[in-house]
Amino acid sequence: MLETVFLVMGIVEFINAIFEKYFVWNWLMEKGANQRSKFIYKLSSCRFCLRFHLSVFILVLYGFYTGFDLGMLFIPFVCSGLTYSIERKNDL
């Protein structure tokens, strides 16, 4: 199960780096800012939330290939927590 956490976290961080390089996150924030709904704006302006949803999407794809397990439900939360702690450590 630990290898699944690191696999999903690695894929999310790789996609995050590509999205930052090609300004996909900025594009999503601009599209969210133009929406009438404040809920969509808040979701698109939170980078942590976007990465969490990306990890859920990666986990669903991974689950289709390997088979779902109830233990997999906590993986996006663990990946988000690890990513947040790593980023926080780098900011210090």
- Give the range of the structural domain holding residue 27, as residue numbers without chain letter: 2-91
Instruction: Report whether pLDDT(92) > 70.
Output: no
| DSSP assignments along the chain, one per residue | -HHHHHHHHHHHHHHHHHHHHTTHHHHHHHHHHTSS-HHHHHHHH-HHHHHHHHHHHHHHHHHHHH---GGGGGHHHHHHHHHHHHHHHHH-
**What is the model's pTM?**
0.83
pLDDT digits (tens, 9 = 90+) for 24-59: 988 988 888 888 888 878 888 888 888 999 999 999
Number of domains in the chain: 1
Residues contacting residue 9 through CB under 8 Å, at least 6 positions apart: 55, 79, 82, 83
